[in-house]
Amino acid sequence: MSFAGHYAYAITIFLMVAGLYIVIARGNLIKKLVGLGIFQTSVYLLYVAPGKLIGGTAPILAPGYAVYSNPLPHVLILTAIVVGVATLALGLAIVVRIREAYDTIEEDEILAADRAEDARPQA
């Protein structure tokens, strides 16, 4: 259980926590999405790293090769990457619309605008 043997997990957890922190702590909508991206990416590592064996090859039967890496996690993560790209694209599209509607992408300014709208008597 040495640290060196588990450094992939350490990096995964660091990225995971850092990403989540950015999502929570930042008020800028774009920065939040960046944090979300880092958070999602850390999970790719969680899947892919244990699937790779040092010296392992693709699981194709051939003379001279006995150690194979598991290809399934890579395939799963390929799907997850597509999902991540779609999420980021949609998130950015919504931010563009928010920028058009509110003229800002700072969360506190948007909330202030919403509160001002609530305080105004109904038009």
Positions touching another protein (CB under 8 A) are 16, 20, 23, 29, 32-33, 36, 39-40, 43, 46-47, 50, 73, 76, 79-80, 83, 86-87, 90-91, 94-95, 97-98, 101-102, 110, 114, 117, 122
Supply the minimum distance, in Å, between the C-beta of residue 104 and another protein: 11
CA distances from 51 to 7, 21, 71 (A): 15, 27, 7
| Cα 36 from Cα 57, distance rounded (Å) | 33
The C-alpha atoms of residue 101 and residue 108 are separated, in whole angstroms, by: 15
Closest to another protein by CB, 5 or 64: 5
In terms of CB distance, is 11 or 98 closer to another protein?
98
Q: Which residue number, 63 or 110, has a Cβ lying nearer to another protein?
A: 110
Q: Which of 39, 55, 50 is nearest to 74 (CA)?
A: 50
